[in-house]
Amino acid sequence: MPWKARAPPGRIVNNPAIADWPDGVARHVLERVDSTNAEAFRLAPHLSGPAWIMARRQEAGRGRRGRPWNDPPGNFAATLVLRPTGGPGEAARLSFVAALALHDALVTLCGPQLRLALKWPNDVLLNGGKLSGILLESSGTGGSMASLAIGIGVNLAAAPESEQIEAGAMRPVSLLGETGLTITPEELLDALAPAFNDWARRMENEGFAPIRQAWLARAARLGETILARAGNTRIEGRFDGIDETGALILTTAGGRQAIPAAEIYFSGG
């Protein structure tokens, strides 16, 4: 079988009452789609406000740079689609909001003992392996964004086998495989939506600074040497944070550099 789950099923450690679903945000739970981001763009013209679209089975999911993202039953695949009010820079910073919201939702459901960390620009790690990926895509014409889709995939039940992983990519993990805990996609959705709403409202009211501070408090490998790769360019340096735009800050032998987009690699995985 191409998917593995290394621990017997358990139940979540904590299941406190979840905050109310955000007002004015639609909730769509579908049995099967090609891609939740693609479905989001199909629905976007008919929506009166933001909407979460979750699929119990996603058959043609994709990650960054068009890479396939596989989802067996029990894993989480959902997209928040909205009409952004700011420019592309503000829309891009919503990836940090999404990562913080997912981190908080998992802690709410499973407890603070989870060893979670955030990997720039938009991954959530568990026990040092990749648990989740976040993909932002937009639609529009003439340089304006009509809709923004924030796609989130989480390996709740199973992680890809090693032969499915691109060479050099981070080791994938699942919540079940690493902890023995089980949460359903619906449970995660109902924790994630209010968490996202809270962080997004905070960014709207206070700007990016508190988002940046909270993200850095949860960041993986901060202060360590990492490798950033953008196309054929490779930059190695000390990870010293992110700036006010969300760009990666590396301190190299040649000085301090801000890197707006890249793949980053950690030594040892």
> Where does the pLDDT of residue 9 fall: very low under 50, low under 70, confident under 90, or very high at 90 and above?
very low
In which element (H, E) is residue 27 found?
Answer: strand 26-30
* Residues 6+ positions from 207 with CB-CB distance below 8 Å: none
Count CA atoms closer than 13 A to 115's CA, side-chain side. Answer: 10
Average the pLDDT over 204-231 and give the result: 97
* pLDDT for position 163: 59
* pLDDT for position 7: 38
Three-state SS for 269?
Answer: coil
* pLDDT for position 38: 94
> Residue 265 — left, alpha, or beta (φ > 0 → left; ψ -120 to 50 → alpha)?
beta
Q: Tally DSSP H helices, then E strands, for the chain.
A: 5, 14
> Do 172 and 74 contact (CB within 8 A), yes or no?
no
pLDDT in tens, 225-264: 999 999 999 999 999 999 999 999 999 999 999 999 999 9
Three-state SS for 110?
Answer: helix
Pairing relation of β-strands 123-126 and 129-139? Answer: antiparallel
CA pair distance 202, 216, nearest whole angstrom: 16
pLDDT in tens, 10-49: 444 444 445 589 999 999 999 999 999 999 999 999 999 9
Average the pLDDT over 153-172 and give the result: 82
Average the pLDDT over 119-143 and give the result: 91
Domains of the chain (ranges, CATH numbers):
3-217 (3.30.930.10), 225-265 (2.30.30.100)
pLDDT in tens, 39-94: 999 999 999 999 999 999 988 766 555 566 567 889 999 999 999 888 888 999 99
Average the pLDDT over 186-205 and give the result: 97
**Is the pLDDT confidence value at 102 over 90?**
yes
pTM: 0.89
Specify which residues 132 forms β-bridges with: 124, 154
**Is the pLDDT confidence value at 140 over 50?**
yes
